[in-house]
Structure 1
Amino acid sequence: MIELIDNLSQMRGIESQYTDAWGKLATVPESTKAKLLSAMGYPLEDEANLVEAINFEAQTLWQMPIDAVSIHRVNQPLVIDIRIPLLLATKIISWQITTESKQTINGQFEAVDHELIAVAHFDELEYHHYQVTLDTDLAEMGYHQLSFKMADEGLDVTQQLVIAPLSCYKQKPIADGAKVWGPSVQLYCVRSKRNWGIGDFADLQLLLQQLGAKGADFVGLNPIHALYPNNPEACSPYSPSSRRWLNPLYIAVDQVTGFKQKTVQELFQSDEFQTRLHIAKQSEHVNYTTVAELKFSTLKLIFEWFEAKGSKKSHQALDNFIEQGGESLKQLATFDAINVSLAEQGKENWGWPVWPEAFQDYHGDAVQKFVKEQQQQIRFFCYLQWLAQDQLAQCQKAAISSGMKIGIYRDLAVGVSEGSAEIWGNRDLYCVDASVGAPADVLGPQGQSWGLPPMDPEELIEQGFQPFIDLLRANMKDCGALRIDHVMALLRLWWVPKGESAKQGAYVYNPVEQLLALLCLESQRNKCLVIGEDLGTVPDGIQELLAENAVHSYRVFFFETAQDGGFYSPAHYPEQAMATLTTHDMPTLVGYWRCYDLEIGKEIGIYDDEDILKSLYDNRHKDKQRILDSMSGHGALPNWISSNVDECDMNQALNYAMQIHLAKGQSSLLCLQLEDWLQMEKPVNIPGTSDEYANWRRKLSMNLEDMFEQEHINQLFGELTQARQQGYKNT
């Protein structure tokens, strides 16, 4: 059984050994492999059943002449895998390519004239696996159809043939050497005089317009994926319900057509509504429950007015949007409507795993009956997506109009939560008895399990990679760049068996070459730059592979250190990269310098070992001195700031000097945290915590309108633009 598990693990891409964060070789125990194979659907309880399942899987593959999809790069030989009985190897097979542009290319071949890869026997038949090189110089990039026919033998099969470019999209000014800058912001954190206690798309539009006029070329967002309208406190942007759709809490309700109507205004102007709105606006943290109740009650009234009195043109626009959204939009809207219905009945409703069994199958009769009976409720949730998508599109238009080269850059989360609409609508694709995460490292010695079930790589291939393609298209819409969280997922993901410690996981490999090819194709088609968050345990060669495909690296200043502990000069960062000082998972500059993150960690129990905590404080002290040494060596410290860490506290001058120092670096993209412009202390998220800290809730300390009136911040904008153009010379 052990040998069987080892062989099957190898076939399914489960890594037996890996290099950990400390450079040591770690071995994955047999028990972990067995649990992960079980999560993939293999019957590990009985060896005979397991053998039967493996044989059935192999036979099914061999009896399928071609794969569902074949992915190639442009200007490379078109090599196609084909599996046929030996008796057909010497027969003439006709092939035809129908391109996206409806052109056709035809040819013929005999399989025996091409490279034989493998042989297998099933039911007394011998099957041969050939790699056939088609005689064509097809250079049209896109999604084509390739068919093989042998009329006399009943062979008639088709696959999707993808021809992808060699690299992701390169925007010309940036490819030609332009150095650009912009902030990243957690949109929900934004305060403004007009929003309803949570940042929204109207705030984003203001931010883009103001910053575009001041020299910035983008604004980076947290994931704005759809969450759970009926469970608004499930607010982590990295644990969404669907990554293809948007969070309707970001709709600027006061900008929606119909908001000025009488019934809506009666609700909005009521004393109770205004009292709750005032409390939501003034609170230190986003009160998701109150905000959701205020927004959705108002939007429901607007929708009722829209359905009764909206223009024919707007009704047609919504109908078109729903039609284009297809099955995916219908799934999400139905999912949200069922959640509402169950809540009204007092039943558990956080996600499909706790629904009545009849509703757990999206394709089942109970759900289809619900769809027929609740058409208006489902249409309402489609309406919310329509509003959100339109407001986001207006934001990107405003960004480009203000002179920005990129505009919005969006963030794609690595997965969806277990109870999500995305999993509910495609159960076969996800392994719900496992979670993705990260192995133990310096920052997280216990490892991390994020509660996000992974996609099954084999099932993804079987579905022709369509879920991945759809995901890219949706997230490259209405933006100029896309950051892919944990981009190493293209190569491999750390799978943790359900209920196990994150340490008890293993890496599972994905078809990286095919995924990268599709990423390049969609990036080019959508004219969207790609940034890969390549932090953590990075395997050898992956950064080089990403660079070859024009995926921008993600370089965090505090992690860019040499073996002796010194900080690399930003002048030596790769040009094809986004540089940043800190991230949403790290302390702010003020918090870092004053060790507030270590204080909070001690308070909430992350650091319960005094010796470890002392070493962290000691290392922080050394790192701060090394930062000052590096900045002093570049002449980046103002004269009145001491280069001795014991005499140097974090203040506005040092804060901004660090930002200018990084701005002079080589990387083409510079991203700064808006919190650091405001010199805030508390982080927005502490990884590895849930209820211990108010993650994803902390607001900015100042209204946007007031921020743009601060003289020192406006001066910083000018200095950043100048520093980007100037750079470090002769370093």
Structure 2
Amino acid sequence: MTSSVLETFMGLKSIEPNFIDAWGHSSQVSNENIRNLIAKMGIESVDDDSLMTLYKKEENKYWLSPLPPVSIFQKDTAYTFDLCLPIDSATDTLIYVITLEDGSTQEGALCATDFPLIGTNEISDLEFQCYQIDLTLNLPFGYHSLSLYDQGIEEPLAIMSLIITPSRCFIPDELENGKKVWGSSVQLYGVKSKTNWGIGDFSDLKYLLTKTHEKGGDFIGLNPIHALYPSQPDNASPYSPSSRIWLNILYTDITAVDEFSRNSILQGKVNSTEFQHTLSTLRDSEWVEYKSVTDLKVSALRALFSTLNDGSGKSNERREAFNQFIEDKGELLIQQAAYDALQVHFQSIDSEAWGWPVWPKDFQSYQSPNVQTWIEDNRQEVDFWCYTQWVAELQISEADRLAKSLGMTLGIYRDLAVGVATGSAAVWANHSIYCEQISIGAPPDVLGPLGQSWGLPPIAPDQLQKTAYKPLIELLRANMKHCGALRIDHVMAFLRLWWVPEGEHADKGAYIYYQVEDMLNLLALESMRNECLIIGEDLGTIPEGIDVLLKDAGVFSYKVFFFEQAHDGGFIAPLDYEKQAMATICTHDMPTIKGFWQSEDLYLGRELGLYPDPDTFKNLLDSRTYAKQQILDSLHGLGSLPSDFPRDARETQMTQTLNFALQTHLAKGSSLLLSLQLEDFLEMDKPVNVPGTSDEYRNWQRKLSQDLDDLFANDAISTLLTDLTTSRRDNT
């Protein structure tokens, strides 16, 4: 395989073999690995002739399509796009009709030869020419379309999606004017309360919002609350969801659903001594017992759904609202509901039928005629799963309205996972856009010497463009609802993703690039429309210039204290943090403050066999001791600790004084947003997730050590929250 052919084809598929690794060295992916990656894209043959034939075929599609499928522009007075025509048609007068999002139209005429010629090509003895069309237009923000017609012919020659966007994302006026706010981040499932059913719920969220506001906080940051797998409750990672558009129904507070107040039988069951004993056991557990919780909640939801259909006056009103929800959400909702229903169906036949990859072949795609027939024949069951989404959305909507009524600048701050699992409803319903034999991940770095593969199939960049970015637009809209801010996990995905071929280690992958300007423009449009601030999780290896691009687009950076170190190993003073950023101390993939100081994560890693040899563990311990000393030096140097507090990290244990001082220290910083974890208020040491593990550790199950009432009644924590509020205000 000659490099010229391979390089040509890599350009077609947006594959970049050269990159700067985590150690600052230039790296290059081998041709062999590139060829393997291309094969996993579903291309049957990767020899020179086959690749060149495929390249020519794709190139011809460009020339044979007068207009691209989509053009995205920041609002301006003129817009430029390519127009390809047979040479015999180039001098024809063409009529263009722009249909605006509101249905109104703008019309005009053009002749291609009045514009610059930028290329020619011959296909089957027919010559084509491509012109760069420049039109002066007054277009509002929004999703429009441009149709091109030959004079006198009704059928359009071509139709292009034409999207006009603002130049940057939404930022609330208070933040634009320099207001500094703080909030708490929480794994909602891990919240303990005296009322939930062994898993945090949306009523707990409302309580958190109210109490945080009372203490001077501005927002509650959530883990991804995406739909998971009710029939596979132990698949609990919020970062490997079934859908990123729909909600995890386990967050529904059953007793707060309207139908509960009208179902006396269910009320009696819930209030029974036996049921209350079960709830007490689930609440008191150190871990979320997903199967037990799911069994209770799904059974209760089925009872509530029956009440919805009981024919009473109130139920009829609610049923009308529910029917409207189904109509408004359309096919996207039916896809998710049908998948959940089919999982129940096939698992009732075979307990090993965990998802679509092991279902009968005729049921492995939403579009299958057998699936469509099954949906019609089992409409009541599909409607039930639609109902579970409806009541969940009503409750997150109530929480959002509460936050707004309290005057919180952000209120709810949601988290968008970077992808979905291979066995998800999203892939089942959209096979054409996913590369299912590939997983996204990360190349080798300091924290992961072998790299990472996350088991999440990517969407191909060319498929995104062919669909006029419809999947991305739907995703952004869904996740910007009912919140004031959205954190985008691994925001580098807007620029590039590390693709790992199925069956290979992560170091055999390569970067695939996306149309970052298009994606950021769409992000800005949806952000403005939903008045939703955007935070980009930009940790790890960042290509040069992307930080400026994100900042100019109004995306807030994500600054983790433990990673903000200078070249000499010291920690950057919080006052030197970027203003347009969210500062935090820990993330869900890191130890808590106490766990970090006590090196609990390192000892746990050794226990779980995550290190290749004893020397690796020793080196990590030595590095941790050095980092702790730098932290002590920094806190003392900036007056964030009492002068008589110990100064030698080797002899200093984690205490409440040190823990709370570190959080207040960061609160004095320059970043407009500050997010701190509830588990750090409670001085917990166990992590919520250990990267690189699956069954070795109970990831995504660990609960808070105290329930919410006790947390907010704690005098020491109340003092801390007051100090955070004061520090934020006094350093504005």
Give the structure-2-normalised TM-score.
Answer: 0.97
Superposed displacement of residue 636, structure 1: 0.8
Match of 2:141 in 1: 141
- Please give the alpha-carbon distance, in whole angstroms, between the structure 2 residues aligned to 1:668 and 1:417: 34
User: In the aligned structure 1, how far is the partner of 2:548 from the partner of 2:713?
Assistant: 43
Alignment equivalent of 2:451, drawn from 435, 440, 447? 447
Range that drifts further, 95-104 or 358-367: 95-104
What is aligned with 2:238?
237
Q: Which amino acid aligns with 2:367?
A: H
Q: Distance in 1 between matches of 2:83 and 2:319?
A: 49
Deviations 1:125-171 (A, max 9, x none): 111222200122x2411111211111368752221111000100010
Structure 2 CA distance, aligned partners of 1:375 and 1:165? Answer: 42
Q: Which residue pairs with 2:265 in the alignment? A: 263
The offset of 1:467, in angstroms, is 0.5
Counterpart CA distance in 1 for 2:444 and 2:495 is 19
What displacement does 1:265 show?
A: 2.6
- Deviation digits for residues 707-726 of structure 1 (CA, Å, limit 9, x no counterpart): 11001111111110110011
Counterpart of 1:44 in structure 2: which amino acid? S
Work out the percentage of aligned pairs sharing the same amino acid: 47
Q: Which moved more, 1:480-489 or 1:206-215?
A: 206-215
**Structure 1: gaps spanning 5 or more residues:** none
CA contact (8 A) 1:213 1:402 kept: no
- Deviation digits for residues 435-485 of structure 1 (CA, Å, limit 9, x no counterpart): 000111111111100000000110110011010000000000000000000
Q: Deviations over 1:377-418 (max 9, x none)?
A: 100110010000000011111112223111000000000000
User: Which residue identity is paired with 2:35?
Assistant: A
* 1:485 is aligned to 2:482: no
Q: Which residue of 1 aligns with 2:529?
A: 525
Judge conservation of contact 1:42–1:53 (CA < 8 Å) in 2: no
Instruction: Tell me which moved more, 48-57 or 256-265.
Output: 48-57
Instruction: Report the CA distance between 1:103 and its aligned residue.
Output: 3.3
Q: SS of the counterpart of 1:10? A: helix
SS in 2 for 1:684: coil
Alignment of 1:292 onto 2:272: no
| Distance (whole Å) between structure 1 residues aligned to residue 662 and residue 696 of structure 2 | 31
Q: Which whole-Å deviations, capped at 9, do the CAs of 1:681-715 have from their partners, x for residues lacking one?
A: 01100111111111000000000011110011111
* SS of equivalent to 1:127: strand
> Does structure 2 conserve the Cα–Cα contact (< 8 Å) formed by 1:267 and 1:298?
no
Amino acid in the other structure paired with 1:144: H
TM-superposition CA deviations, 1:524-557 (whole Å, max 9, x none): 0000000000001111111110000000000001
1:437 alignment partner AA: G
SS of the residue corresponding to residue 70 of structure 1 reads: strand
Paired with 1:151 and 1:425, the residues of 2 have a C-alpha distance of 40
Contact 2:308/2:316 (<8 A) preserved: no
**1:68-147 alignment, distance < 5 Å:** 68-75=69-76, 77-136=78-137, 138-147=138-147
In structure 1, distance between residues paired with 2:273 and 2:405: 39
Matched, 1:558 2:562: yes
Q: Which letter maps to 1:541?
A: G
**In 2: Cα distance, 1:52 partner to 1:385 partner:** 46
Partner SS for 1:259: helix
Q: Counterpart of 1:323 in 2: which secondary structure?
A: helix
Give 3-state SS (helix, strand or coil) of 1:131's partner.
Answer: strand
* Equivalent position of 2:504 in the other structure: 500
Equivalence for 1:403: 407
Asked if 1:459 is matched to 2:463, the reply is yes
Check conservation: 2:147, 2:156, Cα contact below 8 A: no
Counterpart residue number, 1:277? 279
CA distance in 2, matches of 1:524, 1:704: 34
1:587 partner amino acid: P
Question: Is 1:348 the equivalent of 2:352?
Answer: yes
Are the aligned partners of 2:442 and 2:452 in contact in 1 as well (CA < 8 Å)?
A: yes
Match of 2:160 in 1: 159
User: Counterparts of 1:14-53 in structure 2 under 5 Å?
Assistant: 14-44=15-45, 47-53=48-54
Question: TM-score with structure 1 length normalisation?
Answer: 0.97
Deviations 1:50-105 (A, max 9, x none): 43333222222221111221100012530122111111222212112122233322
- Contact preservation (8 Å) 2:636, 2:643: no
Provide the rounded CA distance (Å) in 1 between the counterparts of 2:260 and 2:97.
55
Please give the alpha-carbon distance, in whole angstroms, between the structure 2 residues aligned to 1:422 and 1:46.
33
Counterpart residue number, 1:420? 424
Q: How does 1:212-231 map to 2 (within 5 A)?
A: 212-231=213-232
Matched residue SS, 1:311: helix
How many residue pairs get matched? 727
Q: Is the 8 A contact 2:35 2:46 kept in 1?
A: no
Check whether the contact 2:75–2:167 (CA below 8 A) recurs between aligned residues. yes
User: 1:622 is aligned with what amino acid?
Assistant: Y
Deviation digits for residues 411-430 of structure 1 (CA, Å, limit 9, x no counterpart)? 00000000011111111110
Paired AA for residue 395 in structure 1: A
Residue number among 577, 589, 594 corresponding to 1:590 in the alignment: 594
Further displaced range: 682-691 or 73-82: 73-82
User: Residue 641 of structure 2 aligns to a residue in which SS?
Assistant: coil
> CA deviation digits over 1:301-323, x for unaligned, max 9?
11111111452221111111111
- Letter of the 2:219 counterpart: F
1:631 and 2:635 aligned: yes
Q: Which residue among 675, 700, 724 is the counterpart of 1:720? A: 724
* SS of corresponding position for 1:431: coil
**Is 2:93–2:151's contact at 8 Å kept on the other side of the alignment?**
no
Per the alignment, residue 613 of structure 2 pairs with: 609
